[in-house]
Structure 1
């Protein structure tokens, strides 16, 4: 490989960006957030059971829009968790968790679990119909379009978030009606 003094110096200090492409350091948080707000995302509730919390354990949950299918064989999914969040801390210790794909009629559930400075985990689940998963023990929300029970396979640190890759151990396809709950331009929305 032929190197010039400029490419040799750049290679010694890190990767060389492609010609004409600016360094990522020039992207502001506000611009990045605004761009990502234009990407519609499905809304899920990620839950886990914390058996170490109190005498009878405690359910924990969080709303997520950064959730995707990763692989069919084996069946893998990924959720992005803010570092140091309650769910990030819990899934560091607890390998089993669940996902409920929320329907358009479950906007109130998404909003409740996304609140900053929210209620205690015990109160979050009050008056929300759910059943414990048969494998994970984590809450599976009634009326969800689909449910998945997962076991953490890998955790990948990515900036201020951790990507948790889980193997899907069980899938539930309830007969819930309606369309998906979406998140677009900073608001919950529905199709149509």
Structure 2
């Protein structure tokens, strides 16, 4: 009895793949937020000092914000990017002040991240209360003590993107203190540490 071989299928004869049709109005805010919450991100504190003059002489006020939308952009020149909500206190300040600092927070600094993420419910003066920091020599911005690394940056470019502005900064100084512990991360709406829930 002769043997038969199964018919072969050419690439052209395969069934066409179905491609999801996007919703006419695009992804909803809730869907977008839920999807991106599954991308773990490092947590940093972005700070700046606002110069001011008073009757007592030079002065000013510090401001800061917790950020997870922070990343390196270029090695040569050394550039980083942070996304800042349009119209926020930090957006207004960085529009006027080109020098700012970044502190890469450790897993033991969750309370700092939480405090600066409170979106204006605490005054700038109280935000820095009881938090150890020193001033950057170049930027004058508060740099958090005990952070994994601290950077001082100068704004090179601002790009408005939807309801945020992407602030691209050149890194002017970088320090790596000797500290214990790993990085603080943000995943599915919660601050987390590596290997822990």
TM bin, normalised by shorter chain, reads 0.7 to 0.9
TM-score (norm 2): 0.85
Q: TM-score, normalised by structure 1?
A: 0.87
> In structure 2, the residue corresponding to 1:148 is in which secondary structure?
strand
Q: Secondary structure at the match of 2:25?
A: helix
Instruction: Report the secondary structure of 1:25's partner residue.
Output: coil
Q: For 2:167 and 2:94, how far apart are their aligned partners in 1?
A: 8
Q: 1:162 to 1:141 in 2, by over 3 A?
A: same
The Cα shift of 1:21 comes to 5.7
Worse overlay, 148-157 or 114-123: 114-123
Residue of structure 2 in register with 1:16 after alignment: none
The equivalent residue for 2:167 is 164
SS in 2 for 1:150: strand
Three-state SS of the structure 1 residue aligned to 2:59 is coil
CA shift in 2, pair 1:158/1:60, >3 Å: same
For residues 17-56 of structure 1, the aligned pairs below 5 Å read 22=22, 25-52=25-52, 56=59
Higher-Rg member (1/2): 2
Q: Which runs of 5+ in 1 are unaligned?
A: 1-18
Query: What is the SS of the residue equivalent to 1:26?
Result: coil
What CA distance in whole angstroms lies between the structure 1 residues aligned with 2:74 and 2:26? 33
Aligned-residue offset at 1:144: 0.2
Residues 136-145 or 110-119, more deviating? 110-119
Which whole-Å CA distance do the structure 2 matches of 1:24 and 1:110 have between them? 37
CA RMSD of aligned residues (A): 1.5
In the alignment, the residues of structure 2 paired with residue 128 and residue 74 of structure 1 have an alpha-carbon distance, to the nearest angstrom, of 32
Aligned to 1:7: none
- Name segments (4+ residues, structure 1) moved above 3 Å: none
Considering fraction of residues, name the structure with more helix: 1
Residue number in structure 2 paired with 1:13: none
Match of 1:133 among 121, 125, 136: 136
- The C-alpha deviation readout for 1:31-59, integer Å capped at 9, x for no partner, is 00000100000000000000138662011
